[in-house]
């Protein structure tokens, strides 16, 4: 097994595209090293992207934020402005594992590991984040909801990797929130994860919303029907009920030791409602 740590985007893309066999990107390694040690993967080449400056920085861009794919959850939490503007995204990244894991785990790795239960992915999708991919043919942008196709299946082509994420400009009176349910207090995989991002007008009516659910289907879902259920409302009880019903309706979860199908569907509705109420509360004070 070969290990390379290129310092340029082009160098990484050339290595990834030009090497036969199983070629893997290395970011924090909190998934990849576990898989290597358990003989789940046996790559011919590992390309560590952490020496590429663009993958490691957070910058303000066009009124939004560009976050490098290899920025860790701990680094996101230390960025005061990002934490204030996108609290749901930062919270989600900091639910991953433990303090030690958060010091290594990245947004790019969380998405590209291809788990439907990945915690930061529903928050990124609710935020309307766009992933910038780099590859041998250059760069392209893809909405985060379109990157994962199914468990361990990504829309990335040979040689492509996620370079960064762009969080859009935040309108006034808007905010996000992410909640997950796990059977233990920490260090467990989400039974359900729910991300909600919404914008209010001056009267407190929701003018725009995005809702995303993790761990209830083979991929993390953007739930447009749930957003439609609350746009035009002030999230009164009737709108909350519509939101819950719409969230439940899209769930097609697995049945396992962490939760039955019925339980996951029930929890998806409850968490979506709660996340929306937190986002609403935050949006009112902005
Ligand atoms: C103890 C423990 C607890 C955990 N708890 C949680 C949890 O609560 N919630 C949760 O969601 N996850 C959890 N995880 C899983 C893991 O920590 C996260 O998925 C993490 O975000 C992975 O990021 P990483 O940078 O370590 O990825 P890596 O391990 O470096 O990479 C993961 C996969 O993505 C690929 N990859 C990485 N970066 C890129 C990129 N930029 N472009 C293309 N491909 C890329 C790699 O090739 C690999 O296949 C846990 C893991 C451990 C060990």
> Ligand 1, atom 28: nearest CA belongs to which residue?
29
| Residue pLDDT tens, the chain, 286 long | 999 999 999 999 999 999 999 999 999 999 999 999 999 999 999 999 999 999 999 999 999 999 999 999 999 999 999 999 999 999 999 999 999 999 999 999 999 999 999 999 999 999 999 999 999 999 999 999 999 999 999 999 999 999 999 999 999 999 999 999 998 777 788 999 999 999 999 999 999 999 999 999 999 999 999 999 999 999 999 999 999 999 999 999 999 888 899 999 999 999 999 999 999 999 999 8
> Cα(34) to centroid of ligand 1, in Å?
10
> Ligand 1, atom 25: nearest CA belongs to which residue?
28
Q: How far apart are CA 286 and CA 272, in angstroms?
A: 21
- Pocket lined around ligand 1, Cβ cut-off 6 Å: 24-32, 34, 49, 69, 95-97, 101, 104-106, 108-110, 112-113, 118-119, 161-162, 187
Q: What is the DSSP letter of 83?
A: H
Q: How far apart are CA 64 and CA 129, in angstroms?
A: 10
pTM of structure: 0.97
Q: What is the DSSP letter of 169?
A: P
> Cα(69) to centroid of ligand 1, in Å?
11
């Amino acid at each position: 097994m070969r290990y390379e740590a290129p310092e340029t985007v082009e160098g990484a893309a050339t290595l990834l595209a030009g090497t036969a066999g199983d070629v893997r990107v290395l970011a924090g390694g909190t998934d990849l090293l576990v898989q290597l040690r358990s003989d789940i993967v046996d790559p011919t080449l590992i390309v560590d992207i952490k020496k590429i400056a663009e993958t490691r920085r957070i910058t303000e861009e066009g009124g939004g934020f560009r976050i490098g794919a290899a920025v860790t959850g701990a680094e996101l939490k230390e960025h005061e402005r990002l934490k204030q503007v996108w609290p749901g995204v930062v919270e989600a990244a900091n639910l991953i594992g433990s303090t030690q894991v958060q010091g290594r785990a990245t947004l790019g790795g969380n998405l590209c590991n291809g788990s439907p239960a990945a915690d930061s992915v529903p928050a990124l999708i609710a935020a309307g984040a766009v992933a910038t991919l780099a590859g041998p043919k250059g760069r392209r942008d893809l909405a985060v909801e379109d990157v994962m196709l199914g468990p361990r299946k990504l829309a990335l082509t040979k040689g492509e990797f996620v370079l960064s994420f762009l969080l859009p400009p935040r309108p006034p009176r808007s905010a996000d929130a992410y909640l997950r349910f796990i059977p233990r207090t920490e260090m467990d995989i989400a039974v359900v994860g729910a991300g909600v991002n919404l914008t209010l007008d001056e009267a407190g009516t929701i003018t725009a919303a995005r809702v995303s659910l993790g761990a209830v289907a083979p991929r993390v879902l953007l739930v447009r029907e749930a957003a439609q259920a609350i746009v035009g409302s002030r999230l009164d009880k009737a709108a909350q009920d519509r939101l819950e019903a719409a969230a439940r309706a899209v769930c097609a979860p697995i049945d396992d030791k962490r939760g039955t199908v019925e339980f996951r569907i029930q929890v998806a509705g409850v968490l979506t409602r709660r996340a929306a109420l937190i986002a609403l509360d935050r949006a009112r004070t902005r």
